[in-house]
Structure 1
Amino acid sequence: MTLQSPPLAVVVKGWPRLSETFIAQELVALEEAGLRFDIWSLRHPTDVKRHPLHDRLRARVRYLPEYLHDDPARVARARGIARALPGYPQAYAIWRADLRRDQSRNRIRRFGQACVLAAELPEGTRGLYSHFLHTPSSVARYAAIMRGLPWSYAAHAKDIWTSPDWEKREKLAGPHAAIFGATCTAYGARHLRDLAGDPAKVDLIYHGLDLSRFPPPPQRPLRAPGAPLHLLSVGRLVEKKGFDRLIAALALLPGDIDWYWTHIGGGELRAPLAAQAEAAGIAARIDWRGACDQPEVIAAMRAADLFVLPSRIAADGDRDGLPNVLMEAASQLLPVISTAVAAIPEFIDSGKQGLLAGDDPAELAQAIETLGRDPARAASMADAARARLLAEFTMQPGIDRLAARLRRMIATAPALAR
């Protein structure tokens, strides 16, 4: 017997990605809630490693041409099929209007990928759901218009704050807009609801944490006076993570604090940051571990004394939402130091669940010194952060709401027929 094709197509930028554990966590949970879908990825994986979570997903993963010249025959065949679809003229007109305002090769590639997606969607598809409001949602929107299907999206951070308002407004409230959208912070939800006009079209759904993926927190005896202070950060080496500020802060720490710092994550700023540390005379105290899988990250959190994530707003407006690594650190009773940027204060009330510093390296250095010299206070904050995680930021309530909205979307849509 042939299995019926899944009714939902999930469009992602790349699969799998070590830095997007929150997406893998959500999709695995949606499968466990009974939703069936295929994943359509705009890019092939670049990470060598995978999280164990990726291997739990049963969905079929399909890759669109990352660049249109990669598979010209496939693109040409799809374009021929797409042109015959009833919604193609509308999709083409909307894309041309977008192209006039964004004259980039990326915009052309999005439409080509949308043609392939529309042409290859299997019979029985009833709707599309895209992760990130920028590129993946453009592809999903164009393809949905061609096929006469509803679409929806999840918005996160960079896609909210670096996309032009005209594009967000049209995806949220214009012709052929999304049926609904989900976003993972109240900070982002306020912005999107203003653009959408109808607040009900934007649902606040925290990613939360699936605690079944994490061991119980370790027993953490108070660090002895004068013992080495092990700092840990997990995050891509990009401007919005603020690691240049952290290196500057580390160079300001008093000489009687015996610290060392471990960084986990890839990113294009590795060389300049390493050079900054060398110039500051602190390179020997730093362990650059690169990209790590989830078990390696958890092991590092259990071995560290303080977790530091100095998020900031980048020059292009990019910023974090509510980084899941803060909740992961809290799950392991690892005290947290971060910054009062974007949605981070939605989880950490400075002085209660951790310390939030400003963008000045001196403030960050002071926060590190404060908790480094007072292990009892740091432990108390870690207890409070884990209590808040358990009370307000577990995964399942958000998954239940998201699954219900996706079911309503595909229940009211006609199934795609050949």
Structure 2
Amino acid sequence: MTPTAARLGVVVKGWPRLSETFIAQELVALEEVGIDFDIWSLRHPTDTKTHPLHDRLNAPVRYLPEYLKDEPLRVLRGVIAAITRPGFAAAWRAIRADYARERTPNRLRRFGQACVLSRELPAETLGLYAHFLHTPSSVARYAAILRGIPWSFSAHAKDIWTSPEWELREKLAAKSFGAAFGATCTGLGAKYLQSLADREDRVDLVYHGLDLNRFPAPPDRTARQAGDPIALMSVGRLVEKKGFDRLIAALALLPDELDWHWTHIGGGALKGEMQALAEHLGVADRITWRGACDQPEVIDAMRAADLFVLPSRVAEDGDRDGLPNVLMEAASQKLPILSTPVSAIPEFIDSGTHGILTDDAPESIAAEIQGMAADPTRGAKLADAAYDRLMSDFQMAPGIDHLAKRLRHMLDSGA
């Protein structure tokens, strides 16, 4: 009898999600290099659109109970099956220790989801891989302990900077059933997680990069002259860490003689608040709110724009961007970039070479927009340099090769 090929279980918070193109890109690439996996999502989708990338994925998608009360019989079967497993005692110790430090319904929900996952995983699943180091990794960790298989993670931004240190240490140490390995997409995040791990080599820096085969060649941008209208655009959720309130305040400071229009793409909880701010500051009639868009729509908008603006900042709860993929997407279309030196953004953009990084004060942002509007040749030079940097150091293939090697090794150890 031919042995069944080893499979990977991929745990994600929600699938599919327009704001997480980097996850879809990675999973499609892993499938194309021969990694077999199933997707296990903790939540059902809320976006009404999908990216073409989502349509390319062949992996089966399963949804765990989003709330345990919604599927009580399924959860009960998972718990009963978990109790009979050799790994139950260790998993129970882990959840008790975690719950003692975080007594929340969410913590218990993670364990219930893990019981369902451990029961329903195909027998050939020999390892788990979670996207995000907070909730998905907790579910993966508990399920892996129950099943006696290794687990791993990919960490990004909020999951690193808003998770308590004790929990990160637990997930990064072998003695507490930590991850076999972890990948993170910024040097800043890698350095921090390595400082918490029992071994530095437990965490790898793996930039997402871009699969440039999915993008058109950059357009000719030589037509715009100083004094012409300037088309500004941004892509990002309307949440605190993106800093769009500072950008709207900056737009209100631009001189009357500057002809500009700003297009925003993305959803987010603060949409009403941002629109109200624009109305209050008298700039609402020069703003287009496009809402959530698929990636072809985003790229089309980038090709029509003159300047990409992303005024990222650190939120009050510590949340911040990693290295936003939209910056690399803008670079792929030779769209000049104005951003801030937050988190890992300087890992891609050297200010004055590949784009402009300024502080997030509205006055500073407004001054840089005026400078870029007045000197289109400067923006073109910065965009050319960013495109060259993208081509040389931020393509997707090297990271996928490294990640696939790590995952295969983990599956072998799970066997």
Distance 1:309 1:222 in 2: 24
Is the CA contact (8 Å cut-off) linking 2:234 and 2:308 kept in structure 1?
yes
How far the C-alpha of 1:369 sits from its partner, in A, is: 1.0
Report deviation, 1:5: 6.6
SS, match of residue 412 in structure 1: helix
Measure, in 2, the Cα distance between the counterparts of 1:355 and 1:224: 19
Deviation at 1:197, TM superposition (A): 3.5
The aligned counterpart of 2:99 is 99
- In the TM superposition, residue 4 of structure 1 has moved relative to its aligned partner by 4.2
Partner of 1:373: 374
Give the CA deviation at 1:255: 1.4
Correspondence 1:100-139 to 2 at 5 A: 100-139=100-139
Change (3 A) 1:308 1:3: farther
Distance in 2 (CA, whole Å) between partners of 1:201 and 1:184 is: 14
* Aligned residue type for 2:84: A
Q: Distance in 1 between matches of 2:299 and 2:28?
A: 19
The answer to whether the Cα contact below 8 Å between 2:227 and 2:373 also exists between their aligned partners in 1 is: no
Q: CA RMSD in A?
A: 1.2
User: Matched residues in 2 for 1:133 and 1:392: separation?
Assistant: 25
Relative distance call for 1:6 and 1:48 in structure 2 (3 A) is: farther
Q: Which amino acid aligns with 1:409?
A: M
Structure 1 residue 256 displacement after superposition? 1.3
How big is the shift at 1:3?
A: 10
The equivalent residue for 2:230 is 229
Q: Number of aligned residue pairs: give it.
A: 414
Rounded Cα–Cα distance in structure 2 between residues aligned with 1:198 and 1:374: 49
Specify the code of the residue in structure 2 equivalent to 1:146. Answer: L
**2:349 corresponding residue in structure 1:** 348
**Preserved CA contact (<8 Å) 2:8 2:126:** yes
2:388 — aligned with what? 387
Letter in 2 for 1:98: D
Aligned 8 A contact 2:226 2:375 in 1: no
Aligned residue type for 1:116: V
2:399 alignment counterpart: 398
Structure 2's unaligned 5+ residue stretches are none
Listed as ranges, the matches of 1:42-61 within 5 Å are 42-61=42-61
Rounded to whole Å, the distance in 1 between the matches of 2:79 and 2:130 is: 21
Distance 1:413 1:93 in 2: 22
Maintained 8 Å contact 1:193/1:199? yes
| Whole-angstrom distance in 2 between the partners of 1:256 and 1:387 | 34
Tell me the residue number matched to 2:324.
323
Distance in 1 (alpha carbons) for counterparts of 2:96 and 2:305: 52
SS at match of 2:142: helix
- Deviations for 1:292-336, whole angstroms, at most 9, x for unmatched residues? 001100100000000000000000000000000000000000000
* Structure 1 stretch displaced more, 232-241 or 248-257: 248-257
TM-superposed CA distance for 1:379, in Å, is: 0.4
Counterpart of 1:210? 211
By how many angstroms is 1:225 displaced?
2.9
Shift of 1:78: 1.0
Residue 117 of structure 1 aligns to a residue in which SS? helix
Counterpart Cα distance in 1 of 2:249 and 2:110: 40
Kept after mapping to 1: 8 A contact 2:94/2:176: no
Which whole-Å deviations, capped at 9, do the CAs of 1:161-214 have from their partners, x for residues lacking one? Answer: 000000000100142110000000001000000000321110000000010110
Q: Deviations over 1:41-77 (max 9, x none)?
A: 0000000000000000000001000000111010011
Distance in 1 separating the partners of 2:105 and 2:3: 38
The 2-side partners of 1:225 and 1:389 are apart by 27
Taking only the aligned residue pairs, the percentage that are identical comes to 67
Deviation at 1:220, TM superposition (A): 1.1
**Offset from partner CA, 1:322-381 (integer Å, 9 cap, x none):** 000000000000000000000000000000100001021111111111111100000000
AA partner of residue 61 (structure 2): V
Alignment of 1:60-209 (within 5 A): 60-173=60-173, 174-209=175-210
Superposed displacement of residue 240, structure 1 = 0.3
Distance between the aligned counterparts of 2:236 and 2:384, measured in 1? 23
CA distance, structure 1, for counterparts of residue 396 and residue 254 of structure 2: 37
Q: Per the alignment, in what secondary structure is the counterpart of residue 366 of structure 2?
A: helix
CA–CA distance in 2 between the matches of 1:46 and 1:204?
30
Q: Does 2:320 correspond to 1:313?
A: no
Deviation at 1:96, TM superposition (A): 1.1
Asked whether the 8 Å contact 2:6–2:411 carries over to 1, the reply is no
Gaps of 5+ in 1: none
Tell me what 2:37 maps to. Answer: 37
Deviation at 1:226, TM superposition (A): 2.1
- TM normalised by structure 2 equals 0.98
Deviations along 1:127-180, whole A, 9 cap, x unmatched?
Answer: 000000000000000000011100000000000000000000010014211000
State the Cα deviation string for residues 265-301 of structure 1 (Å, max 9, x = none): 0000000110100000000000000000011001000
TM-score normalised to structure 1 length: 0.98
